[in-house]
Structure 1
Amino acid sequence: MIGDPLQRRSSRPGHGVVWPESGEPLLKPDGPRTIALWNGLAIGSGAFLAAAKDFGRRLPDGAFVLNLCEDRYRFSLALVAALLWGRITLLPPDRSPWTLRCLKERFRQVVCVADRRQDDLADLDILPVDPSPFQEQGEGEAIAIAPEQTAAIVFTSGSTGQPQAHPKTWGSLIESARLIAEALGSLQGRTLVATVPPQHMYGLELSVLPALRCGAVLDARRPFFPLDVQEALESVAGPRILVTTPVHLRALTAAGITLPALDLIVSATAPLPRTLAEEAERRFRAPLWEIYGCTEAGSIASRRTAREESWQVFTGMRLLPAGDGHCVEAAHLPEPIPLNDIVELLPDGRFRLLGRRADLVNIAGKRTSLGALNHILTSLEGVLDGAFFLPDETPGCTARLVAFVVAPGVEMPALLEALRQRLDPVFLPRALYPVAALPRSESGKLPRQALQALAERLGATRGEPSVRDDR
C-alpha cells in the first residue's frame, strides 16, 4: 500500500498502471470476450477498456471517486476508470444523506459518479457515467495494475456500530475473486445476475470482480422483486448464476414463481437456514452455495448449506484463536483480522458459526444469540421475515426483548404461542410488533440503528406491553 490510503490522492494520469510482467492484469488475459450485458448489448473487453479510459480522462485530478452507480455496468466502468487513472473509489454502506455528508467531510475532495444527475445528491459534484458503447478495439491493451495500489475503500454496514473504513488493494481484491472462483468452480462464460448492490463487499466480489478476472459475464441490472429476478434471468442466455441473499431467496420461494435453468445459486450477508436452502435447491433445481465473509477480510469460507452445517475455509486462509475470539489471516490480507462472529473450530479444519458477538443476549444467567432467536422466529409457519431486538437501557426502564414480524394474515397471539413452544421462557419477547416490512439495507442486513428507530416509533423502547399493528 502506498502511503495513507485515506488521505493519498494522485494527480498523475495512469498512476498505478504498470507493465504486465510487473503487475496484476486488469482483465483476465484470455483474448476478446464479453464482459457485460447492458440494455441487450454484449460489451466486449476491448470496448469496455476503451470506454473506461475515456471516462477516466473526465475524473478531476486528485479526487476520490464516490461510486453510487446502481447499474452494474456503469459501476464497473467507473471503477476501472478510477483504477487506470490512479483514483481511489469510495464504496459507501448506504446512500443516506447523513452517510454521504460524512464521506464528503472526511475525504474532502470527492467526485460522485452516478447513473444520472440526481436531486438528492445536489450537494455533491456529480459526474454521470455515460456507458455509450465504444466500437470493439481488438483485445484491448494488456494493462496491469500494481498489486499494492489502493483500489477502493469499503465500509462496514453499520450493523455492529458506526461504519468504519477498510482500504482494499488491487492485489487483495483479485486474490479474493480467485479464491471464490476456486471454491465455486469455473466461472468462465457464466452470466451473473445479482440482487445485491455492487458497493457491498459481497456484491463487488461476486458480481463485478469475476467478470474482470474470472471470465464471467456481469448483467448490468439489479433486480429486487421476485418477478424482476425472473425476468432478468430469462433475458440472459445460460449458463446462469444467481447471486443473492437470504431475504431475496425467501421472497422467491414464497412467490412460487418458476426460474429458468440455473447453474448455481450463491447466497451471503446473513446465515441461511438449512430448510430455506433445501427448499431453494428443490424449487429452482440448482445447487446453492453460501459464502461467509466480512467487510474487513472479504470472503473467507463456503458451504453447501442444504447438505452441511460446517464451513470450509478458502485455500490459504486460516482461522486462529485470538484473545477470547478468533481472527482470520492470509497472505493477501494486511494483518490478522478479528472476527465479529463466534466460531467453533473443528478437528478437520472446518468451523461452525455460533452467532455474532454483538448479538449475544444474557438474561437471568441464560445465554443465546439474536441470530438463533431470529432463526426460530422466521421458521414459523406464515412468517415471511422477522427479527428480535433488545432496546438500549433507559433510566427507570429495564430493556426487554421485543420482536418485529412480517406475517400477513397471522394472528399475533397464535404466533406468540408458537414461540412459547420453542423458546425458553426468559427469551420470549415482551411484545410482538407486526410490520409490513423490516428496515433492511440494500444488501439485506438489519443495521441496529434502523431497528432502534423502528422500536422507538412503535413504542417498543418504552416497555409498552401492548401490540401495535404497523402493517
Structure 2
Amino acid sequence: MTLCPSPQFAIPDTPCLVLDDGAPSLGESLHCARDWAAQLPRAKYLVLLCERRSHFILGFLAAQMNGMTVLLPPSRAPGAIREILDAYPDSACLVDDGPPPAAAVVRNCRDFHPIRSARQPASGEVSVPPEHVAAIVFTSGSTGRPRPNPKTWASLVHGARLAIRRFGFDSRHCIIATVPPQHMYGLETSVMLPLHSGARVHGGLPFYPEDIRLALERCPGRRVLVTTPIHLRACVSANLDWPAVERIISATAPLDKTLAAHAEDHFKAPVMEIYGCTEAGSLASRHTTQEDDWLLYDDFQMTVHGEHCRVTAAHLAEEVELADVIQLKTARRFELLGRHADHINLAGKRASLADLTARLTAIPGVVDGAFLEPASVNGATTRMAALVVAPGISEARILERLREQIDPVFLPRPLVKVASLPRNATGKLPRTELLELYERQVMRR
C-alpha cells in the first residue's frame, strides 16, 4: 500500500498545502515529513495535538513512516489527555508550540525544520502496510464516555476514495476546513482526502468568521468549505462579503434547513451534508435544502431491524450499529429519525432532545441552547431542563414561545440562562460537561 496508489489520486508535483508563505507540493511535504520522522521520540503511539493543519499532516505522515499509531483525543482538556496517556503509556506527544497539556514525552513543531522552499525530489510514495493501525480515533463523548476506534491505513484510504467519488474532488479544488483534524470528519476530509485526490488544503485552523473569510481568500482554485453547523451559523450571522465558493460541506450535527438556505444565499453555493460516525466514518450525504433523504456512499450496505440499524462495507473490519433511528426508503436511501439517546418518554408522551433543542434555538433572540435530562428515577425521565444563551430576551419570554410549540410536559423546569455552552471544537456538547454546567448554575439560583 502506498500513500499515493496511482497518479489519478495525488501527483507529487501538485501543491498540497496552502500556507501563509507558499504552497508546497506533495513531494516537498513528504520530504519534510521524513525529516520530522527522524526527530520523533521512539514510542509506539503519537498523541497528535497539533492545531495547525499543516503541522498535523506532517506529524501524521511522519508517524506512519515510523510505524507509529496516532492517538486522536476527543479534546485538548488536560484530563482527557491524561486518560489517554494512562491507557497508552508507550506514547509521545507532538504539539504546535509550548508545553503539553499533560505530562508526556513531547516534541514541539517549532523545533522541527519547516517545509523547505528549495525544490525537493518529487516522490509521492510512502509504503504503509494496509493492516497497520494508522490511528485510534476517540468518540466525542456527547452521549457518554469517549470510546477508542482503531483505523487501519487501508480503511482510511478507502474512506477517502469514497468521498472523492461522491463529491468529485481533484487537483482543481482547495479545501478550507474549520473542523479539527483530530475529529474523524476532519481526518477524512482535510487530511486523507487531499492526500489522495490532489486537492490543496489550507494549512491553518480558521475559527472566527473573519479568519474563515481570509482563509478562503488566500486559497486558489475551486474552494470547498468543510465546516459544522455552529461555524456556519456564525458565518451567516457575520454578514461578510464572502469569496466565491464552489460547495459547502457540513457535518458533526444535524443542519437546520433554514440555516442551510441562509448559507446558500450568503455564499451563493450549494450546502451538502455528510452523515457518519466515528466507528464507520462518513457513509452518506445529501443536499440539505433539496432533499430529506440521505444517499449511502458506494460500497456501504444498510440493514434495519426494528429500531436497530447496522452498516457494512468492504473497508470496515466488522458491521457497525448506528446510534440513530433510521427508516430505509430504498436499498440506497434512508431517512434519519433521530438518535436513540435523544428519545424521551415522559408522562406517556414522546419527544426527542434534538427536536426540542431545535425549537428552542429557532426562537428569535436565542443564540444557542440545549435541552437535557437532569434527573431520572429508575432510568425514567422525570422532567426536562434547558440551558440557553440569550442575552437580549428574558426567560419568561422564551418559555412563552416554547409553550406555543411543545407539549407542556416537556417545558424545561428550570430554564437557565448562561453566557455560553461548553461546545467542543466541532460544535458538539459533551454530556458530562453539559450536566456539570447545569448543576453549577442550579446551585447558584
- Mean Cα deviation higher: 306-315 or 430-439: 430-439
Partner of 1:6: none
**Equivalent position to 2:95, from 102, 114, 121:** 114
1 CA distance for matches of 2:320 and 2:375? 28
Gaps of 5+ in 1: 1-17
Q: Are 1:402 and 1:432, in contact at CA under 8 Å, matched by a contact in 2?
A: yes
2 CA distance for matches of 1:211 and 1:27? 12
Q: Are 1:24 and 1:146, in contact at CA under 8 Å, matched by a contact in 2?
A: no
**Equivalent position to 1:281, from 264, 279, 288:** 264
In percent, how many aligned pairs have the same letter? 43
Question: Does the alignment pair 1:75 with 2:51?
Answer: no
**TM-score using structure 2 length:** 0.94
Partner of 2:146: 163
1 CA distance for matches of 2:100 and 2:334? 47
Amino acid of the residue matched to residue 40 of structure 1? D
Look up the SS of the partner of 1:430 in the other structure.
Answer: strand
**Equivalent position to 1:125, from 105, 117, 122:** 105
Once the two structures are superposed, residues 119-166 of structure 1 have per-residue CA deviations (whole angstroms, 9 ceiling, x without a partner) of: 644x11111123511332232153332221111000011111111111
Deviation at 1:28, TM superposition (A): 3.4
Question: Does the alignment pair 1:291 with 2:274?
Answer: yes
Partner of 2:374: 391
Deviation at 1:110, TM superposition (A): 0.7
Question: Does the alignment pair 1:93 with 2:70?
Answer: no
Deviation at 1:220, TM superposition (A): 1.1
Amino acid of the residue matched to residue 36 of structure 1? L
Partner of 1:183: 166
Amino acid of the residue matched to residue 50 of structure 1? H
**Equivalent position to 2:239, from 256, 271, 277:** 256
Question: Does the alignment pair 1:363 with 2:346?
Answer: yes
Partner of 1:32: 13
1 CA distance for matches of 2:374 and 2:68? 41
Partner of 1:349: 332
**C-alpha RMSD of the superposition:** 2.1
Deviation at 1:394, TM superposition (A): 7.3
Deviation at 1:25, TM superposition (A): 6.6
Deviation at 1:412, TM superposition (A): 1.9
Amino acid of the residue matched to residue 32 of structure 2? A
Q: Are 1:187 and 1:210, in contact at CA under 8 Å, matched by a contact in 2?
A: no
- Mean Cα deviation higher: 385-394 or 240-249: 385-394
Q: Are 2:35 and 2:113, in contact at CA under 8 Å, matched by a contact in 1?
A: no
The residue correspondences of 1:378-457 to structure 2 (distance < 5 A) are 378-393=361-376, 399-457=382-440
**Equivalent position to 1:223, from 183, 203, 206:** 206
Partner of 1:308: 291
Look up the SS of the partner of 1:257 in the other structure.
Answer: coil
Deviation at 1:31, TM superposition (A): 4.0
Amino acid of the residue matched to residue 264 of structure 2? E
2 CA distance for matches of 1:288 and 1:141? 32
Change (3 A) 1:422 1:30: same
Q: Are 1:250 and 1:384, in contact at CA under 8 Å, matched by a contact in 2?
A: no
2 CA distance for matches of 1:29 and 1:223? 25
Deviation at 1:236, TM superposition (A): 2.0
2 CA distance for matches of 1:120 and 1:343? 39
Amino acid of the residue matched to residue 299 of structure 1? S
1 CA distance for matches of 2:84 and 2:358? 35
Deviation at 1:269, TM superposition (A): 0.3
Partner of 1:84: 65
Q: Are 1:322 and 1:338, in contact at CA under 8 Å, matched by a contact in 2?
A: no
Partner of 1:234: 217
- Mean Cα deviation higher: 131-140 or 266-275: 131-140
Partner of 2:317: 334
Once the two structures are superposed, residues 65-121 of structure 1 have per-residue CA deviations (whole angstroms, 9 ceiling, x without a partner) of: 000000000000010011111111000001111111111111111110111132644
Deviation at 1:323, TM superposition (A): 6.7
Q: Are 1:26 and 1:145, in contact at CA under 8 Å, matched by a contact in 2?
A: no
2 CA distance for matches of 1:228 and 1:326? 39
Change (3 A) 1:238 1:24: closer
2 CA distance for matches of 1:177 and 1:375? 31
Moved over 4 A (4+): 23-27
Q: How many residues align?
A: 441
Deviation at 1:26, TM superposition (A): 11
1 CA distance for matches of 2:352 and 2:40? 46
Q: Are 1:25 and 1:143, in contact at CA under 8 Å, matched by a contact in 2?
A: no
Question: Does the alignment pair 1:247 with 2:230?
Answer: yes
Gaps of 5+ in 2: none
1 CA distance for matches of 2:168 and 2:89? 42
Deviation at 1:54, TM superposition (A): 1.2
Change (3 A) 1:132 1:26: farther
Q: Are 1:66 and 1:110, in contact at CA under 8 Å, matched by a contact in 2?
A: yes
Q: Are 1:49 and 1:140, in contact at CA under 8 Å, matched by a contact in 2?
A: yes
- Mean Cα deviation higher: 279-288 or 374-383: 374-383
Partner of 1:56: 37
The residue correspondences of 1:192-207 to structure 2 (distance < 5 A) are 192-207=175-190
